[in-house]
Structures are given as structure tokens and as C-alpha cells.
């Protein structure tokens, strides 16, 4: 049996024993900003023009409770640790639903360790929203911010087309103060990488955001907007420059600046076929009660697992999950992955991003693969260097320890 067939058989087998570790609540499609690359307006998804989807724009507390009871009663929720993520639209516009989720997950899951996180554009933090954040223990807040002001304001505008950078930075400072007072666990910056980002430079962008007080930076290449796509060769150079600087930091016992470095090192140290969590240990629930593999597939009917009102048994849920997983496929269905020497050292890859770029979920771009292969080669050389130098190895271990103890780990 070839590698891709073995992998396909494996994920079909594991789909019958789905164990949900993370639930994403997409509580609204409404937003108070109009970013130039928003994937809700993507032509392959186009949620913003879908009246059927927009008909119910804000999640009710009833939907939250029904979804939790459904997953619990079907025996689908992990018994030790559960992650709940609040997504939109813009969640901060509806603090009462955020607080409802906080209450419901804690009522239902008292015997488990809970981690709650929220994604926000950081633009409008009402007094009520900040009060709710202060009541939620151990919360993580991810803020969408695209780096230095000239880049950010070019891409992330309010509904009237006005710049948003100054206001968002002001609100980030409030979050930093809450973290210092132990009201927030950590603050993450999420950057959408476009051609404008590279004009500023990835390294400069990451350093800039860490200096603003963020505990981590997540980088995503823009999806579905070709005119904003970064130049492939420039992106390649920027990613490699960033990785080399990160490794030099570790050799000085300094923690990495962003989680991508940690993911790469872990992937090389622990080789395996890493599949996207969507539909396997992750599901997303929408305001209308639809269930998808993750928030990236919302609005795409072929990837819909079902609705809270229609799923009557665990067996039906698992059959639907298997159907969706078959459609999503896995990375080894791409011949380039199946024949790649680094396939077991490749980090998890978002399948939804491929769909938003107009490809099948398991079809990855050549430029992405080229970057990953080069990064893995560099990590191999780095680890080989460490194997011959005990002193440097100790420094790297200390840098990784500082990453974990300084808020770099997710729980």
C-alpha cells in the first residue's frame, strides 16, 4: 500500500472515534471594520453577500448551550483539556454572548481544564467588553494587527474607510495592563501577510509587534486576493531571514519571537504525518447552529457537518464527519507531499486556506512547499550543529524553556 493510501485509510479509521478538543464559536458575521482582504468577502466563500447566512447574524445563548450538550451527550468532548475559541465577525461587539460562553463551558465542564480564547480586531473595546474580559479566568486574546502603522492602515480600515491603527494600539495597551494584573493569560498578534507586509519586512513586523507587548505573533499569508499576494521570491527571503534570526536568538538563550519557529523545531524533532485538526479534534459552530470542521469552512455547504437541530445520534454525527473528511482529503493526496522527503517534518497546514485560494483542500501551493522545505533543511543543519556542541545545546534548551514559561505555550 502506498503512503497516501495508508494515510487515507488511517484518517477514515480515526474519524469514527472523533474526540473534540477545541470548539470555535463563530458568534457573529457582523464587523465594524472593512479590511481589504477579508475572507468573508472572498469570491470562493462570499458570506457577506449570502443573505441566507446573514439572516441570523448573532449567536444566542441557547445555541451555545445546545451545542455543548449535544457534544457532551454524544461523548464527543475530550475528558482532560478543552479549548474554546470565540470568533467572528467581530466578537467584541457582543460581550453578553462572550460571557454566556464563559459561563456555559464552566458549568458543563467542571472536571476538565478549560482554556478560553477570543479573536478581535481590537478596534472597539466597550466598557462592558473589558468588564467581561476581567471576569474570564485564564483568557487569551488574539488581536488582528498588520504591523507598523503604514502597512496596517493601508489594509485594515473601519466601515467608513478611516485608519484604525492608533485606536487599536491604544486598546492593546489596555490588554497589556490587564495581563500585568493577571486578568489575561496572554496576548497574540495575528498578521495577514501581503505584499505591503514584505515592503516593511517580516522580521521588522514581528519585532515591532513584540515590542508593543504581544506574547506571540502568528503569520498568515493573505488568501484569495491575488492583487495583495506577496512576491514569491521576496516572501521566501523574508521567511528564511526571520528563521535564521530566530535560531541565533536561541543560541543566545533568548526565546523565539514567534510560534512558527517552535512549530518547525518540534516538527523536525518529532516527525509524523501532521494533519489539519479541522473535523478531527476541532469543530466550529455558527449563529444558526450549523457545524463545520473549522471557522475557515463556514458557508461552504459541502463541508457542513450538520445542524444542531438535525443531528440525532453520535453515529449520524460521525458519518457526516467522515463524509466531510473524505472531501477535505489529506496532505498525502497531493503527489508532491506523498513523494516529499520532508513530509513527516512538515508542520500542520490549514486546509481551508487552500479552498479560499481556489484549490482543493489538499492542494498546496508550490511556493509554500518551497519555503517549508528550505526551513526544514535549515533546522536540520541547526540541530546537527547542536549535537556537536553541549554548550550551545544548553543555551537552546534554556531559550525554549523561556518561551514556554513566558507565555509562549498555549496552555
Note the pLDDT tens digit of each residue in 280-297.
999 999 999 999 999 999
Q: Which residue has the higher pLDDT, 62 or 13?
A: 62
The C-alpha cell at 368 is 509554500
Band of pLDDT at residue 167, cut at 50, 70 and 90: very high
In this structure, the dihedral spanned by the alpha carbons of residues 371, 377, 379 and 383, taken in order and rounded to 10 degrees, is 180
* Neighbouring C-beta atoms of residue 220, cutoff 10 Å: 13
Residue 4: per-residue pLDDT: 45
Band of pLDDT at residue 39, cut at 50, 70 and 90: confident
- In contact, 185 and 179? CB cutoff 8 Å: yes
**C-alpha dist (Å) from residue 55 to 28, 160, 323:** 11, 23, 27
Half-sphere exposure of 411 (CA within 13 A, CB side): 13
Note the pLDDT tens digit of each residue in 185-227.
999 999 999 999 999 999 999 999 999 999 999 999 988 777 8
Residue 12: per-residue pLDDT: 47
φ/ψ of 147, rounded to 5, equals 95, -150
- In contact, 39 and 67? CB cutoff 8 Å: no
Mean local confidence (pLDDT), 83-94: 95
The long-range contacts involving 146-151, CB below 8 angstroms and separated by at least 24 positions, are 146/191, 146/192, 146/194, 146/196, 146/197, 146/205, 147/191, 147/197, 147/200, 147/204, 147/205, 147/208, 147/209, 148/200, 148/204, 148/205, 148/208, 150/200, 151/196, 151/197, 151/199, 151/200, 151/205
Note the pLDDT tens digit of each residue in 337-352.
888 888 899 888 788 8
Pairing state of beta strands 306-307 and 290-292? antiparallel
- In contact, 273 and 329? CB cutoff 8 Å: no
CA–CA gap between residue 299 and residue 322 (Å, rounded): 19
- Choice among 175-179, 249-253, 297-301, 405-409 with the minimum mean pLDDT: 405-409
* Neighbouring C-beta atoms of residue 302, cutoff 10 Å: 10
Note the pLDDT tens digit of each residue in 389-401.
999 999 999 999 8
Nearest residue to 12 via CA among 4, 23, 20? 4
Note the pLDDT tens digit of each residue in 124-152.
999 999 999 999 988 999 999 999 999 99
Residue 340: per-residue pLDDT: 86
CA–CA gap between residue 8 and residue 14 (Å, rounded): 10
Mean local confidence (pLDDT), 316-322: 95
The answer, yes or no, to whether residue 61 has pLDDT greater than 80, is yes
Amino acid at each position: 500500500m502506498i503512503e497516501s493510501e495508508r494515510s487515507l485509510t488511517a484518517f477514515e479509521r480515526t474519524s469514527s472515534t472523533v474526540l473534540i478538543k477545541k470548539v470555535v464559536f463563530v458568534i457573529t458575521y457582523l464587523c465594524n471594520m472593512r479590511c481589504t482582504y477579508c475572507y468573508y468577502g472572498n469570491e470562493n466563500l462570499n458570506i457577506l453577500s449570502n443573505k441566507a447566512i446573514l439572516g441570523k447574524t448573532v449567536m444566542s445563548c441557547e445555541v451555545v448551550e445546545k451545542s455543548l450538550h449535544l457534544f457532551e451527550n454524544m461523548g464527543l468532548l475530550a475528558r482532560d483539556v478543552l479549548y474554546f475559541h470565540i470568533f467572528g465577525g467581530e466578537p467584541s461587539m457582543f460581550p453578553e454572548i462572550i460571557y454566556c460562553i464563559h459561563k456555559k463551558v464552566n458549568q458543563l465542564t467542571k472536571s476538565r481544564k478549560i482554556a478560553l480564547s477570543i479573536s478581535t480586531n481590537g478596534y472597539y473595546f466597550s466598557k462592558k467588553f473589558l468588564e467581561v474580559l476581567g471576569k474570564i479566568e485564564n483568557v487569551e486574546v488574539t488581536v488582528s494587527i498588520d504591523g507598523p502603522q503604514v502597512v496596517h492602515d493601508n489594509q485594515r480600515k473601519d466601515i467608513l474607510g478611516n485608519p484604525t491603527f492608533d485606536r487599536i494600539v491604544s486598546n492593546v495597551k489596555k490588554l497589556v495592563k490587564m495581563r500585568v494584573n493577571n486578568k489575561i493569560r496572554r496576548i497574540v498578534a495575528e498578521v495577514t501577510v501581503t505584499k505591503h507586509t514584505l515592503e516593511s519586512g517580516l522580521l521588522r513586523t514581528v519585532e515591532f509587534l513584540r515590542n508593543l507587548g504581544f506574547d506571540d505573533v502568528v503569520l498568515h499569508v493573505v488568501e484569495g486576493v491575488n492583487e495583495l499576494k506577496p512576491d514569491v521570491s521576496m516572501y521566501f527571503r523574508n521567511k528564511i531571514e526571520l528563521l535564521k534570526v530566530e535560531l541565533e536568538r536561541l543560541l543566545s538563550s533568548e526565546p523565539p519571537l514567534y510560534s512558527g519557529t517552535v512549530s518547525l523545531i518540534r516538527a523536525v524533532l518529532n516527525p509524523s504525518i501532521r494533519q489539519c485538526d479541522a473535523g478531527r479534534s476541532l469543530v466550529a459552530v455558527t449563529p444558526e447552529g450549523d457545524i463545520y470542521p473549522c471557522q475557515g469552512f463556514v458557508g461552504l455547504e459541502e463541508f457542513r457537518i450538520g445542524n444542531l437541530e438535525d443531528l440525532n445520534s453520535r453515529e449520524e454525527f460521525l458519518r457526516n464527519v467522515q463524509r466531510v473528511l473524505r472531501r477535505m482529503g489529506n496532505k498525502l493526496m497531493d503527489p508532491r507531499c506523498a513523494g516529499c522527503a520532508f513530509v513527516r517534518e512538515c508542520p500542520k497546514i490549514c486546509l481551508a486556506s487552500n479552498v479560499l485560494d481556489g484549490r482543493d483542500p489538499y492542494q498546496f501551493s508550490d511556493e509554500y512547499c518551497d519555503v517549508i522545505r528550505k526551513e526544514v533543511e535549515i533546522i536540520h543543519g541547526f540541530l546537527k550543529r547542536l549535537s556537536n556542541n553541549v554548550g550551545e545545546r544548553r543555551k537552546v534548551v534554556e531559550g525554549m524553556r523561556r518561551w514556554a514559561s513566558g507565555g509562549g505555550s498555549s496552555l
